[in-house]
Amino acid sequence: MSRRLSVFLQGLVIENPLAVIMIGLCSALAVTTSVANGIGMSLAMTFVIVASELIISLFRKLIPESIRMPIFIIVIAAFTTMVDLVMKAYFPELSKAMGVFIPLIVVNCIIMGRVEAFASKEGPLDSTLDALGMGLGYTWVLVGMAVVREILGNGTLLGFPIMPESYQPILFFVLPPGGFLVFALFISLNQILKKKWLESPLGCPDPEGGK
């Protein structure tokens, strides 16, 4: 398997930012109470991580080691603010629903972590692929959790009622403890996928890519 493809695939399961690296959890647990929020947050976060990793990778040789953190924060904050403004202007409903979590992407550990661990060392193409992989890995776990929590906890999917009239929503699932439970289930699901993946031909250890 080519090295580039494996860079991209790492973030999906093997190094899933939520289920394996386990960073950026607080906003993930907080926004997954409804699917629309989950999708909005994932898209916003994927855009910010791709743009930030690309820019930082391009400028990586110009960023002095001792002030890399403030520079990373400036770049991430700039992109997050852009997303925030664009959402306020063109998707006001979504922006209202997401509330404070969009500005909080600035301090999302996944972006900071990948920028520090990957983009500040690798080239722009690899960094973009890494960011896309991480973004998609974040997306599937987030949207999956949101689907489970919204259906069980509210009886709806994307706001449409799908459960029978008689269904009494289990409020537990939209509350934080339910979030932890569903998250734990997704960690185990990811472990099963990871095991299957590593046994399949796709998961052949790659001397260069599999870090």
Partner 1 sequence: MIRSMIRLGVILALFAGLACAGLAVVYSITGPVIAQQQQKDLEAALKAIFPDSDGFSDITPELAGPDPKITIRNGYVMKKGGSTIGAAVKAIGPSYSAGAVVLTGIGTDGKVVRAVILELNDTPGLGANAANPNYFVDKPNKITFMGQFAGKSLGDPFTAKGDVQAITASTITTQSIAAIVKASGAAAKAYLDTTGGAK
Is 103 or 210 the residue whose CB approaches partner 1 more closely?
103
| Minimum gap (Å) between residue 86 Cβ and partner 1 | 6
One-letter amino acid of 11: G
Q: Interface with partner 1 by CB under 8 A: which residues?
A: 33-34, 37, 59, 62-64, 66-67, 70-71, 74-75, 77-78, 81-82, 85-86, 88-90, 92, 96, 99-100, 150, 153-154, 169, 171, 174-175
Q: Are 131 and 12 in contact (CB under 8 A)?
A: no
Shortest distance, position 44 Cβ to partner 1, whole Å: 14
Q: Please state, in angstroms and rounded to a whole number, the distance separating the CA atoms of residues 22 and 8.
A: 18
Q: Which is nearer to partner 1, 112 or 129 (CB)?
A: 112
Task: Look up residue 89 and give its two tokens.
Answer: 């202007």
Q: Name the minimum Å distance from CB 66 to partner 1.
A: 7
Which one, 7 or 31, has the nearer CB to partner 1? 31
Q: Give me the phi and psi of 208, to 5 degrees please.
A: -100, -40
In the numeric block, which tokens belong to residue 202?
């796709």
Residue number, 5 or 170, with CB nearest to partner 1: 170
Question: In the complex, what is the shortest distance from the CB of residue 47 to partner 1, in angstroms, rounded to a whole number?
Answer: 13
Q: Which residue number, 113 or 155, has a Cβ lying nearer to partner 1?
A: 155
Q: How far is the CB of 49 from partner 1 (least distance, A)?
A: 17
Q: Rounded to the nearest whole angstrom, what is the least distance from the CB of residue 75 to partner 1 in the complex? A: 7
Q: Measured between alpha carbons, how far is 22 from 18 in angstroms, rounded to an integer?
A: 4
Least Cα distance to 17 among 118, 111, 106 occurs for: 111
Q: What contacts 24+ positions apart, CB below 8 Å, involve 153-160?
A: 153/33, 153/178, 154/33, 154/34, 157/35, 158/34, 158/35, 158/36, 159/34, 159/36
Q: Which secondary structure element, helix H or strand E, spans residue 160, and what is its range?
A: strand 160-161
Buried b (16+ CB within 10 A) or exposed e, 37-53: bbbbbbebbbbbbbbbb
When the beta carbons of 97 and 189 are compared against partner 1, the nearer one is: 97
